Amino acid sequence: MVRKMDKYDINTEERILKAAKSVFHRKGMYGARMQEIADEAGINKAMLHYYFRNKENLFKAVFRDAVEKIFINVSKFLESEGTIDESIKNFVENYIDIMIENIYLPPFILNEINQNPEKLSEFFKPLLESLPVQLIKKILKETSENKIKPIDPRDFIINIISLCIFPAIAKPIVKELFNMDDEKFIEFLKNRKKSIPEFIINSIKLT
């Protein structure tokens, strides 16, 4: 796996991984073809097996990377310090930025989990267990102190995540529905960094 290389070169393993991401993200585990990955990496199929032994291993490397990018950060931002309002703004802004940079990942991950739910325990369990404890406590506290409208913390968490992630999953439909090209679509997402926190904060604040 280790190879002397030119400073400006990138090594074969990285080239493969990059190509594998591109193909798996678009086509999923079963739609992807090893040949296509090899072509995109500019090498031949045998190399894929030399570095990753089989398709399943290569896929897992890609999937693990995707989960880390998308879910490690959910965890981090959901648990931030400060008031609820600050937490919401912080989460949404950071999360939509991640989404814009990795627009293919949410459909890729969610599709894989729906088709293979057992992957959940293999990749997510440690993440999920520790996830939103702090935030739930914060919501319950603010509710009991009459600082926000009462809301089931589970609904709150699902709502904020839904509003951030769903447009990435429905991208082709959203673009078609509102006649957007890619640029307009990104602009739409960027605007949601402001509109989603407003939407959520309005809905929970006392009148």
Partner DNA sequence: GTCTATATAGGGATAGAC
Partner DNA sequence: GTCTATCCCTATATAGAC
Q: Which residues bind DNA (CB under 7 A)?
A: 1-3, 12, 32-35, 43-47, 49-50, 53-56
| Secondary structure string (H, E, C) spanning 60-104 | HHHHHHHHHHHHHHHHHHHCCCCCHHHHHHHHHHHHHHHHHHCCC
Q: Name the 3-class secondary structure at 124.
A: coil
CA atoms within 13 A on the CB side of 141: 8
Choose between 20 and 99: whose C-beta lies nearer to DNA. 20
Environment class of residue 139 by beta-carbon count within 10 Å: exposed (0-12), middle (13-18) or buried (19+)? buried
Q: Which residues of 94-104 are buried (b: 16+ CB within 10 A; e: fewer)?
A: bbbebbeebbe
Minimal distance, residue 3 CB to its own copies, in Å = 34
The residue within the footprint of its own copies, chosen from 110, 134, 140, 142 (CB under 8 A), is: 110
203 binds its own copies (CB under 8 A): yes
Minimal distance, residue 157 CB to DNA, in Å = 37
For tokens 């999923």, name the residue: 28
182 binds its own copies (CB under 8 A): no
7 binds, among DNA, its own copies, none (CB under 5 to 8 A by kind): none
Choose between 19 and 96: whose C-beta lies nearer to DNA. 19
**Chain-centre distance of CA 83, in angstroms?**
25
Minimal distance, residue 90 CB to its own copies, in Å = 19
Contact residues: its own copies, CB under 8 A = 26-31, 107, 110-111, 113-115, 117, 120, 124-125, 128, 131-132, 149, 151-152, 154-155, 157-159, 161-163, 165-167, 169-174, 176-178, 188, 191-192, 195-196, 198-200, 202-204, 207
